[in-house]
Chains A and B, each alone.
Chain A
Amino acid sequence: MISVILTIFAPILGGFVYGIERIVRARMQSRMGPPLMQPFYDFFKLMDKRPIMIHSFHALMGIMYFIAEWFALAVLLLGNDLLIAVFFHVIAVLALVIGASSVRSSYSVLGALRELMHMISYEPLMVLMVVSFYLVVGSFDIKDVLHYNGYPILDLPLVFIAFLLTIPMLLQKSPFDVAEAHQEIIGGPEIEYSGPFYEALYTGKWIEYIYVFTFAFLFGGSHYWLGAILVIFAFLFINLLDNSTARLDFRRMVKFAWIVLIPMAALNVILLALI
């Protein structure tokens, strides 16, 4: 029941998470920052803007991104395979990529290509993480993970660290915000969307927050307090990281993911399998 409510109200919850994040980010930069409700103000304003469509397919892909993102979250929360949720997330991102590369703007196309680089970097890690959950819990089902009596974080410390460093890639945060790269390609894939269509992307991001932090929550197993601590820790950590790093090149990101993060996670999985 909780998971149904959580799924339905995911955009609202995600909005609050995003609002808190904006305040936290502002405070870290010793600014005052916007009010907590700011993402919703933005939301309502964007609803009221007059839509300008490049072409219908482009707009459709924007909405598709939002729906697929929500669907991935629903799959994740409503007790299906974790692996399937990961794959639905791939579909969502792919929709974004296809939409972005269907327009002529070079920023949008560059953004789409960079988004693919993001996927190459983080998808193997996500799969590895799910596999490691299977090795610990013995099931791909979220319910089994949430009823697991042990502490998955103790079995999977390296996987957790790898996941922590993957979150900036997933949520487009510095140092790995290459696809969004506001100062380079002005938002990348989202540049050509406007008004209500941009809305879909903007809200899709909020859902992604919930999606990502759910995975962080899973590391607590059946100990929900531990999960909550991990989520808060992850939230603070990625925000601090966001505020203390410059943006790196996409080549460095892919190298970092494949040379450092994936072997690290794989090592953990191998050790787990051996013991």
Chain B
Amino acid sequence: MGFFSKFRKKSPWILHYNTGGCNGCDIEILATLAPKYDIERFGALNRGNPKQADILLVTGPVTKNCRDVLRRLYLEMPEPKVVVAMGACGHGGGVFRHLYNVENGVDNIIPVDVWIPGCAPNPRALIDGIVEAIKIWEKKSKDKEYMKNHSKEMIKNLGVNDD
């Protein structure tokens, strides 16, 4: 499928889920869809449908109430897929680190590929992050490394045994 994977970097479809962040990142995602930054230049669309999405854009520190929804969304997305954690909350919970209802970052629930720093990251940072994610996505599909390289712990965490 080498021919097809050539084009994959030009059409990343995004699924966005807020797992308990402060909205700041979500505002910036909307701003990135807006005319000034216009992320559709890279072919990116906000699909809102896990079955047709390639990049899962997670904002927020993952509260305990959101955890299962996030896991389900990740599993519903067809391979190959990339997870981007946006903002400081996505990396270890940010300012909400070690609060009682917080899971301390996206990486404790699903494997993350790209972290975008900032609170909140501005649209330029988001574009940088998407570009980085596309690179990793391309590599992933070339290596066919799907979920095989997940650690056993992670697979158990996700609640799946095979694939």
Contact between chain A and chain B defined by CB under 8 Å? yes
Whole-angstrom CA separation of A47 from B41 in the bound complex:
21
Which residues from B are CB-within-8-Å of A182? 48
Contacts A32-B41, A44-B6; is A50 near B78 (CB within 8 Å)? yes
Across the A-B interface, give the 6 residue pairs with the lowest CB-CB distance, nearest first: A194-B51, A44-B7, A41-B10, A48-B4, A41-B11, A31-B38
Interface residue A229 (Cβ < 8 Å from any Cβ of B): no
Contact check: which of A26, A31, A191, A195 meets B49 at CB < 8 Å? A191
Residue in B4, B52, B78 whose Cβ sees the most chain A Cβ within 10 Å: B52
Contact check: which of A38, A48, A52 meets B51 at CB < 8 Å? A52
Interface residue A79 (Cβ < 8 Å from any Cβ of B): no
Contact check: which of B4, B40, B49 meets A47 at CB < 8 Å? B4
Interface residue A198 (Cβ < 8 Å from any Cβ of B): yes
Interface residues of A, Cβ cutoff 8 Å to B? 22, 26, 29-35, 37-38, 40-42, 44-45, 47-52, 182, 186-187, 191-195, 198
Query: Does the CB pair B4–A51 fall under 8 Å?
Result: no
Query: Does the CB pair A26–B40 fall under 8 Å?
Result: yes
Query: Does the CB pair B38–A26 fall under 8 Å?
Result: yes
Extra pairs beyond A32-B38, A33-B40, A47-B4 (6, CB < 8 Å):
A34-B42, A44-B11, A48-B1, A51-B78, A52-B78, A194-B51
Query: Does the CB pair A30–B35 fall under 8 Å?
Result: yes
Query: Does the CB pair B41–A195 fall under 8 Å?
Result: no
Contacts A29-B35, A33-B40, A34-B43; is A195 near B78 (CB within 8 Å)? yes
Interface residue B54 (Cβ < 8 Å from any Cβ of A): yes
Whole-angstrom CA separation of A34 from B146 in the bound complex:
28
Query: Does the CB pair B48–A31 fall under 8 Å?
Result: no
Contact check: which of A40, A186, A192 meets B48 at CB < 8 Å? A186
Whole-angstrom CA separation of A52 from B80 in the bound complex:
12
Interface residue B141 (Cβ < 8 Å from any Cβ of A): yes
Which residues from A are CB-within-8-Å of B54? 45, 49
Interface residue B157 (Cβ < 8 Å from any Cβ of A): no
Contact check: which of B7, B35, B41, B42 meets A45 at CB < 8 Å? B7
Whole-angstrom CA separation of A191 from B146 in the bound complex:
24
27 A–B pairs (Cβ distance < 8 Å), ordered by A: A29-B35, A31-B35, A32-B41, A33-B41, A34-B43, A38-B10, A41-B10, A42-B11, A44-B3, A44-B4, A44-B6, A44-B8, A44-B11, A45-B7, A45-B8, A45-B10, A45-B11, A48-B1, A49-B54, A49-B80, A50-B146, A51-B78, A186-B48, A192-B51, A193-B51, A193-B52, A195-B78
Whole-angstrom CA separation of A187 from B46 in the bound complex:
12
Which residues from B are CB-within-8-Å of A49? 54, 78-80
Whole-angstrom CA separation of A42 from B45 in the bound complex:
11
Query: Does the CB pair B49–A186 fall under 8 Å?
Result: yes
Contacts A50-B78, A50-B79; is A34 near B7 (CB within 8 Å)? no
Contact check: which of A29, A40, A191 meets B7 at CB < 8 Å? A40
A205 to chain B, nearest CB (A): 14
Whole-angstrom CA separation of A40 from B42 in the bound complex:
13
Interface residue B65 (Cβ < 8 Å from any Cβ of A): no
Whole-angstrom CA separation of A44 from B2 in the bound complex:
11
Query: Does the CB pair A198–B52 fall under 8 Å?
Result: yes
Query: Does the CB pair B7–A41 fall under 8 Å?
Result: yes
Whole-angstrom CA separation of A49 from B47 in the bound complex:
15
Query: Does the CB pair A45–B4 fall under 8 Å?
Result: yes
Interface residue B5 (Cβ < 8 Å from any Cβ of A): yes
Query: Does the CB pair B40–A31 fall under 8 Å?
Result: yes
When C-beta atoms are compared, the residue in chain A nearest to B46 turns out to be A182
Which residues from A are CB-within-8-Å of B4? 44-45, 47-48
Query: Does the CB pair B40–A191 fall under 8 Å?
Result: no
A36 to chain B, nearest CB (A): 11
